[in-house]
Structure 1
Amino acid sequence: MVQVLAIVLVFGLLVFIHELGHLLLAKRAGILCREFAIGMGPKLFSFVKGETRYTLRLLPIGGFVRMAGEDPEVIEIHHGQDVGLTFDKDGKVTHIILTNIRNHPEATVVTVKEADLEHQLLIRGIEDGEEVSYPVHPKAVILQHNQETQIAPYDRQFGSKTVGQRAAAIFAGPLANFLLAFVLLTGLGLAYGVPVDKPIIGQTIPDQPAAQAGLKQGDKVLSVAGKPMNTWKDIVQIVSASPGKELTFVIEREGEQFSVPVTPVKEGEIGKIGVYSPTSKSPLGAAKYGAVTTYEFSKLIYQMLGKLFTGQVPVQELSGPVGIFNYTYKAAENGLVVLVQWAAALSVNLGIMNLLPLPALDGGRLVFIGIEALRGRPIDPQKEGMVHFLGFAFLMVLILVVTWNDIQRFF
């Protein structure tokens, strides 16, 4: 049960932070964000705060921020349509009622001749046989079938913003994932200390060879099997290469030197004696550890992508949602430190994958914004939408393929 909860928390956190990055930068640019969703598919739970509906959906395979102007507005007001209007104290329309107008006796009924809710913000029509024109409040809402939808004036739409503002809103999602990895790893460094490459015994594991031989945390290892030890890596290298072989450790403790025989146990193909590396605790060291490890995760993922595209790693080796859930479950079984490290690696992975220049991903959208910046005008929205649709379809097929690979590996 704890492992299942860990999976939910890890994936929820990664998606939440990613979409929060989009949301914050979009709102900062003045874009109307209609929905902030975690998950896909049918809604499980939702609430409205300010201008945005926050939604939890059934399928835990991602999330989205629905910004005004990215998709065509789904509600249209047609010529000749009867609508009910309510006003604020300044005479501006605050509610446009499209259905069940009779249930709103306070509303003024107008037969629409023109409704411009993007640029001029006005409604012209016929009221009691006379032509009227009413200004519309920029935050007016349309009421249809008891559902309220805020209008989106052009200056609140995604497409109205500068290239830089739109690029920032898109890039903010992956950037948030890199920042999350840094924060998680820095937190580990502050809580548990940062590994240091010194020939000193860290924490020992009970009933393992090091503890049984009398080694203690803080012991300085001068030599092993006659070879001088200058770094922690030197100790790991000789112990790993000597499973089942007795090694003589020369130890310095409180100014005294003595020898201790230790026999590494065999785990897989390598030897282990049951000790952790030495650590140090400092805010600066923790921050450096967070930054360096985030960079190392990023480099490793890019190397794997390079091998994938060159055929050195077959597609069959890729893991989809099922495989990642399984690995997260195993990480949770190995304790909080391993789980947090795994979450940080996943967060970096999510950031990098979203930056790939593929349609439907953040990277693909950034490519279109970059092309617009170079040519000085946007690409036809219908053509761009078709490219993203095809890209999304390809991604869905890829997810199905790697999920099938996961199922075959497990069963």
Structure 2
Amino acid sequence: MNALAVVLVFGLIVFIHEWGHMMAAKRAGIAVPTFAIGMGPSLFSFWFGETEYHLCAFPIGGFVKISGMVDDGHMPDKADNAQHVDEVPAEPRLKPLPSGKERMLTKDWSDATGWEKASILVAGPLMNILAAMLTIFVMGQIGFQVNDVMINGVEDGMPAQQAGLQAGDIVHSINGSVVENSQQFIHAVQASGGETVSIGIKRHGEDVEISATPRSREGFNEGKLSLGVVLTEVMKSSNIVSLVPARSSGYSAGLRVGDQVVELNGEPVSNGLDVLLAMAPFNDASYEAQDYYGHPLDKEGHPLGEDGERLAVSEAGVLLDKSGKPLVSEVTGEPMQATVFGPMELIVDRDGERIPITLPAATTMVSGGVSFRPDLMRLPFDRALLRSLDEAKYSLLGIIDGMRAIFTKEGSKSVGGPIMIFNLIGQSASSDIYTFLMMFMVININLGVLNLLPFPLLDGGRLVFVALKGIGLRISENSEATVHFVGSLILIGFILYVSFFDVLALIPRSGGG
């Protein structure tokens, strides 16, 4: 782990968040006596304007002290706030400034309007979200990752099969328009009006043109036109590993950042697509497994439902419910895939040494915890802006999916804590600039969104109290402080819980490389 990168990145993310709170408070005329990065004893401090800035010993978190605001354990009331208010009960004044400085901001939290308080609370998370958006745009100037749209399965009796489309075909155009993602292809098929469409594909390195006529299917996708193909987006990438989360099966098997996968299941590979095509379906009846998110697989590698019953699978590899209808992801809206691959026999090149590694069963290489260094393509300004918005949307959907997983037995064990975050920052710093910026973006947008949740101590929880007081409810400051204190205990407990699994994941296991 690159310790310096962890300290700098995490410190910058916290600075962005707390700076948003501080600037919004000062704009409202509220004094901000203290701004700190890190926790624990202060290593270094200085005054700038009316605020004392601190760099603290432990680079975990940070805080901004807004005069008169409810803390997580107590309310600094105006009569006995020894740190920030002189002991003058009749007319409290803030902590004296160094000689030669004049105080301009004299309001505190209790003097602010409800709208001012709300703007201060929202400002921190909003700055993180804006920082994520800016990072995505910078990534666009370096180049965005490019995906191939691959046919993952063809349904029996549907137009795609009748026209000769096959699993493994790479779709690059439809009716002469370039296909950059699966949604473009699906939209073009649905907008065809039932007319024959021309599909440009690449098969075994050769360009092929195939014509097919979409048709609707009653009881599926609300009767919309379809060709009967299951698509997957494959990132164009090298065969160099860029990330291996410590919780993943790939890490446990011995894969590390920088490893170059040169062979998979006896087939030579030179890029990410080669890796995908070399993966063999998994049918070892003696092997029990889980996917990366902890969802159970039966002995034949098929996913199980919540009731433990085996889910049916269509000919195209799509999960079916008990009535035979395809299961659709609530997050992506796409059919849920059932194909499981593995175990996978890899040969990796690490500093000139060839090392054999066996990955257990997984739904994809990524679900096994393996990401490859992407190929990048620069986009014009307008397309880069639209792509930035898309990336932000997908990140938000991922957060929603992750929050749902927290409330399941298996999913809660797959949620990463601070140790996991530090591990990923360190890995991304030793990988490539795109992976590093992607990690910076993901952490920023996660911090921004999660802080808006209506949970005690978080900014969203404080917003709830502002709203309740705004509609006339009388809530004492001590009661609010107590709620935040209980919330802090719950959050600390949860962090300790997920950190326990983070530590277990980092402990070398027998058989690992």
Equivalent of residue 407 in structure 1, options 503, 508, 511: 503
SS of the equivalent of 1:39 reads strand
Normalising by structure 1, report the TM-score.
0.66
Report if the CA contact (8 A) 1:354-1:363 is conserved. Answer: yes
Structure 1 residues 181, 149: CA separation in 2 closer, same or farther (over 3 Å shift)?
A: same
| Larger RCO (alpha carbons 8 Å, 6+ apart) | 2
Specify the alignment match of 1:27 in structure 2. Answer: 26
Report if the CA contact (8 A) 1:356-1:364 is conserved. Answer: yes
Report if the CA contact (8 A) 1:25-1:169 is conserved. Answer: yes
Report if the CA contact (8 A) 2:11-2:37 is conserved. Answer: yes
SS of the equivalent of 2:475 reads coil
SS of the equivalent of 2:467 reads helix
Structure 1 residues 362, 11: CA separation in 2 closer, same or farther (over 3 Å shift)?
A: same
Specify the alignment match of 1:282 in structure 2. Answer: 380
Report if the CA contact (8 A) 2:373-2:432 is conserved. Answer: no
Report if the CA contact (8 A) 1:42-1:58 is conserved. Answer: yes
Q: Partners in 2 of 1:316 and 1:194 — Cα distance?
A: 30
Specify the alignment match of 1:302 in structure 2. Answer: 400
Q: Partners in 2 of 1:195 and 1:290 — Cα distance?
A: 14
SS of the equivalent of 2:440 reads helix
Specify the alignment match of 1:68 in structure 2. Answer: 67
For residue 331 of structure 1, report the CA deviation from its aligned partner. 1.3
Greater per-residue strand proportion: 1
Specify the alignment match of 2:111 in structure 1. Answer: 160
Specify the alignment match of 1:171 in structure 2. Answer: 122
Q: Partners in 1 of 2:456 and 2:22 — Cα distance?
A: 20
Specify the alignment match of 2:96 in structure 1. Answer: 141
Q: Partners in 1 of 2:66 and 2:278 — Cα distance?
A: 59
Q: Partners in 1 of 2:378 and 2:105 — Cα distance?
A: 54
Equivalent of residue 388 in structure 1, options 484, 493, 502: 484
Specify the alignment match of 1:364 in structure 2. Answer: 461
Residues 171-224 of structure 1 deviation map (CA, whole Å, 9 limit, x = unaligned) = 111111111111111001012356477949xxxxxxxxxxxxxxxxxxxx9622
Q: Partners in 1 of 2:7 and 2:399 — Cα distance?
A: 23
Q: Which amino acid aligns with 2:278?
A: P
Specify the alignment match of 1:83 in structure 2. Answer: none
For residue 372 of structure 1, report the CA deviation from its aligned partner. 1.3
Q: Structure 1 vs Structure 2: percent identity of aligned residues?
A: 30
For residue 387 of structure 1, report the CA deviation from its aligned partner. 0.6
Q: Partners in 2 of 1:266 and 1:77 — Cα distance?
A: 63
Specify the alignment match of 1:190 in structure 2. Answer: 141
SS of the equivalent of 1:55 reads strand
Report if the CA contact (8 A) 2:37-2:56 is conserved. Answer: yes
Q: Partners in 1 of 2:475 and 2:375 — Cα distance?
A: 55
Residues 36-73 of structure 1 deviation map (CA, whole Å, 9 limit, x = unaligned) = 11111111111111111111111222111101111425
Q: Which amino acid aligns with 1:342?
A: M
SS of the equivalent of 1:318 reads coil
Greater per-residue helix proportion: 1
Residues 1:10 and 2:14 are matched in the alignment: no
Equivalent of residue 431 in structure 2, options 329, 334, 349: 334
Q: Which amino acid aligns with 1:297?
A: S
SS of the equivalent of 1:317 reads coil
Q: What is the root-mean-square deviation in Å for CA atoms of aligned residues?
A: 3.9
For residue 29 of structure 1, report the CA deviation from its aligned partner. 0.8
SS of the equivalent of 1:178 reads helix
Specify the alignment match of 2:389 in structure 1. Answer: 291
Specify the alignment match of 1:208 in structure 2. Answer: none
For residue 116 of structure 1, report the CA deviation from its aligned partner. 2.9
Specify the alignment match of 1:41 in structure 2. Answer: 40
Residues 382-402 of structure 1 deviation map (CA, whole Å, 9 limit, x = unaligned) = 100011111112212222222
For residue 234 of structure 1, report the CA deviation from its aligned partner. 7.8
Report if the CA contact (8 A) 1:139-1:151 is conserved. Answer: no
Normalising by structure 2, report the TM-score.
0.53
For residue 26 of structure 1, report the CA deviation from its aligned partner. 0.9
Specify the alignment match of 1:181 in structure 2. Answer: 132
Equivalences, count: 312
Unaligned runs of 5+ in 1: 79-95, 99-113, 119-137, 201-220, 246-264
Q: Which has the larger radius of gyration?
A: 1
Q: Partners in 2 of 1:368 and 1:194 — Cα distance?
A: 43
Report if the CA contact (8 A) 1:141-1:151 is conserved. Answer: no
Q: Partners in 2 of 1:348 and 1:307 — Cα distance?
A: 18
